[in-house]
Amino acid sequence: MTTGAGTGGSDTGAQAPIAPASVARDLTIKDLGAALSAGWADFRAQPLFGLFFASFFVAAGWFLYYALFSHGEAVWLIPAAAGFPLLAPFVAVGLYEVSRRREAGLPMKWRAILGALRGHGDDQLLMMGGYVFVGFTFWIILAHGVFAIFMAESGVGHESLEVFQTFAGVMMLLVGGAVGAVVALTFYAVTVISLPMLVDREVDFLTAIIVSLATVRSNPRILLIWAGFIAALLFAAMIPAFLGLLVVLPVLGHATWHLYRRSVSYPAR
């Protein structure tokens, strides 16, 4: 996979200009495979950083599980877990910086990598973080509404997972899944390119969002496949007590960085 400024193909017909960048319109399945391969290489080369950032996600999952079951709110574990992928891109900001520094041959210093969470000192990443948090909250509100509608018909208490064995419970999962998919795809389209771009370049978050949406619009099939792959892998990683996230989250984070580098190019300085 080609990386670095100027990637995305030399043919201007394969690029869509979105100032201050151009986005590729020729992404393929091979690019996804190359991004995953590069992401795995980054994780193997710098595993401590990946394990460090992923551990917060795993700890949050454990806390969520304990809090919901101890308070008789087990039924909320599914929508809460479904909202995890909405937060994953922001958690991966530190991983983007690791990949950026490895690509540029820069030293791996904890202070610099943790400092990437602040962005370039212009609060743009912070504002994106607020946007992601609002999105997660919005999803929880929607899920609460869907659950309230269908649980009233199930006749089963919300403290038991038996609700999902009823007709109303199955319908609740179907409707909630459809609503959740729309929310997740919206936030995926907004963040998949914008967050690594904000780590890489000094741009405002609105510009980064526009570039992200343009990339998805220019490569809808490939980036929808990537979204489905991310969702499936994250959910599978949550099954063994969230422990699979210790590997899956870093690899996907690094891979997303490389996909961004393949997708977006900048004018030569």
Does 189 have pLDDT greater than 50?
yes
The per-residue pLDDT for range 211-237, each reduced to its tens digit, is: 999 999 999 999 999 999 998 898 888
- Joined together, the tokens standing for residue 136 give 């997660």
Question: Which of 47-56, 142-151, 186-195 has the least mean pLDDT?
Answer: 142-151
Per-residue pLDDT, 117: 78
Mind spelling out the 3-state secondary structure of 107-119? CCCHHHHHHHHHC
Query: Which residues of the chain form beta strands (DSSP E)?
Result: 15-18, 21-24, 264-265
Distance CA 72, CA 75 (A): 8
**Residue extents of the structural domains in the chain:** 35-265
Whether a cis peptide bond, with omega within 30° of 0, leads into 85 is no
Does 4 have pLDDT greater than 50?
no
Longest dimension (CA), the chain: 65
Does 249 have pLDDT greater than 60?
yes
- Tokens 């919901």 map to which residue? 68
Query: What does the angle CA 36 – CA 39 – CA 45 come to, to the nearest 5 degrees?
Result: 145
pLDDT band for 141, please (50, 70, 90 cuts).
Answer: confident
pLDDT band for 184, please (50, 70, 90 cuts).
Answer: confident
The Cβ-side half-sphere exposure at 161, using a 13 Å CA radius, reads 6
Over residues 41-61, the mean pLDDT reads 91
DSSP one-letter string for 240-254: TTTTTHHHHHHHHHH
Q: Share the mean pLDDT of the chain.
A: 81
Are 50 and 43 contacting, i.e. CB atoms less than 8 angstroms apart? yes
For residues 112 and 34, which has the higher predicted lDDT (pLDDT)?
Answer: 34
The per-residue pLDDT for range 5-31, each reduced to its tens digit, is: 444 444 445 776 766 789 999 999 999
The per-residue pLDDT for range 91-108, each reduced to its tens digit, is: 788 999 999 999 999 999
